[in-house]
Amino acid sequence: MPAPKKVGTQTVALASPPVLLATAAVAGPKEGEGPLRPTFDRVIEDPYCGENSWEKAERRLLEEAFQLALSKAQLLPEQIDYLLAGDLLNQIVAANFAARSLAIPYLGLYGACATLYEGLALGSMLIDGGFADYILIGSSSHYSTAERQFRFPTEHGSQRPLTAQWTVTGAGAVLLGRQGEGPRVTHVTVGRVTDLGSTDPMNMGAAMAPAAVNTIVSHLSDLGRRAEDYDLILTGDLGHYGREFLLLLAREYGYELAERHRDCGLMIFDRQQQDVHAGGSGCGCPALVTCGYVFQELKAGRLRRVLGIGTGALMSPVTSKQGETIPAVAHAVALEA
């Protein structure tokens, strides 16, 4: 007997769609200079957040996002069934240490920059399955922690190519509930790992765009929908060149996405005024845009149906130095007001 909630090859239709009860977006200083500043709950002016290391600063960003989301929903940590979170650091230490301060039953996630949407997908299925009433979800990144781990220390002063993106400093949190008022998660499409042979760690968009297209096409095909059925099709952090690649690949499948598609990496910064090259990236990129702008637009009714796709490059510094290609994954969540 087939799974009753499975639709097509990769999509799940949620019988009891969970509610986004509250979100929180805590941004870094450069992000606060961008066009989405009014949608953030807080902008941190000190990239160290009063700590003595960048890694501790990132943890602090995530802790603050969690506390803000709980406060908005008027819930205490002991009322939350599960915490689902992750980041870009080795052993997801920002999320692990933030979870230590909350004492909520915790599942650490790693989907690279797709982590927030991976959490939304899993959290929604847990609530729809009757396993939880409340789930707290979050992800974070920090420019300096990511540069140190994945590329070069900032002190090195390396010149970045135009395809490179600026890792966002920020954290986002979502409080999902079984009941309540707010936008709902109606469908989840879990992505397949996709690899077309890209090897350039300074061009994440090229590696992630094929995975995003694969998931978008699967979602629309599974549900018999068109791109026009969504007010917004949002990808996590493809940047300028990745977006162009996505539109080209989607066209080969017969989908014209240009009118509906936007990318968080192109929304969070002003590329004409801020030196971010191809745009923003990192777990904090889709987290800030989704937990700020998208949630507020859904709450206000200016957006009615959004397909959000988290995009993640599943490489590590070790695999890149060994000459491996860059596999990527994309997870989609349909949000409806």
pLDDT tens figures, 146-181: 888 776 666 656 677 788 899 999 999 999 999 999
Residue 320: its pLDDT value, please?
85
d(CA 84, CA 95): 9
Pairing of strands 305-313, 232-235: parallel
Question: What's the Cα-to-Cα distance from 113 to each of 65, 176, 280, 316, rounded to whole Å?
Answer: 17, 20, 11, 13
42-48, long-range: CB within 8 Å, 24+ apart, which pairs?
Answer: 42/68, 44/169, 47/142, 47/143, 47/144, 47/169
Q: Is the pLDDT of residue 201 over 90?
A: no
Beta-carbon contacts of residue 290 (< 8 Å; ≥ 6 apart)? 23, 116, 172, 174, 234, 264, 308
- Exposure string of 221-232, with b = 16+ CB inside 10 Å and e = fewer, is bbbeeebeebbb
Mean pLDDT is lowest, of 1-10, 17-26, 47-56, 156-165, for 156-165
Query: How does pLDDT run across 98-126, given as a tens digit for each residue?
Result: 999 999 999 999 999 999 999 999 999 99
3-state secondary structure of 313: strand
Nearest one of 184, 204, 212 to 332, comparing CA atoms: 212
Interval 56-90: pLDDT, tens? 999 999 999 999 999 999 999 999 999 999 999 99
CB of 40 closer than 8 Å to CB of 172: no
Terminal-residue alpha carbon distance, the chain: 33
Q: pLDDT at position 153, please?
A: 60
Return the half-sphere exposure (C-beta side, CA atoms, 13 A cut-off) of residue 273.
9
What's the confidence (pLDDT) of residue 321? 84
CA 89 to chain centre: 15
State the pTM of this model.
0.96
Which domains, from first to last, does the chain contain? Answer: 6-177 (3.40.47.40), 184-336 (3.40.47.40)
Measured in degrees and rounded to the nearest 5, phi and psi for residue 6 equal -80, 135
Percent of the chain past pLDDT 90, that is, above it, reads 91
- What is the predicted pLDDT for the residue at 97? 98
- Asked if residue 142 has pLDDT above 70, the reply is yes
pLDDT at site 157:
62
User: What pLDDT is stored for residue 111 in this prediction?
Assistant: 97
**DSSP 3-state assignment of 296?**
helix
- Neighbour count for residue 318 (Cβ, 10 Å): 8
Helix (H, G, I), strand (E, B) or coil at 304: coil
Confidence grade of residue 272 (pLDDT, cut at 50, 70, 90): very high
Q: In degrees rounded to 5, what are phi and psi of residue 40?
A: -90, 145
Residue 206 has pLDDT above 80, yes or no: yes
Q: 54-73 vs 143-150: helix axis angle to the nearest 10?
A: 130
Tell me the backbone φ, ψ of residue 55, rounded to 5 degrees: -65, -40
Residue 154 has a pLDDT of 62
Q: Please provide the average confidence, as pLDDT, over all residues in the chain.
A: 95
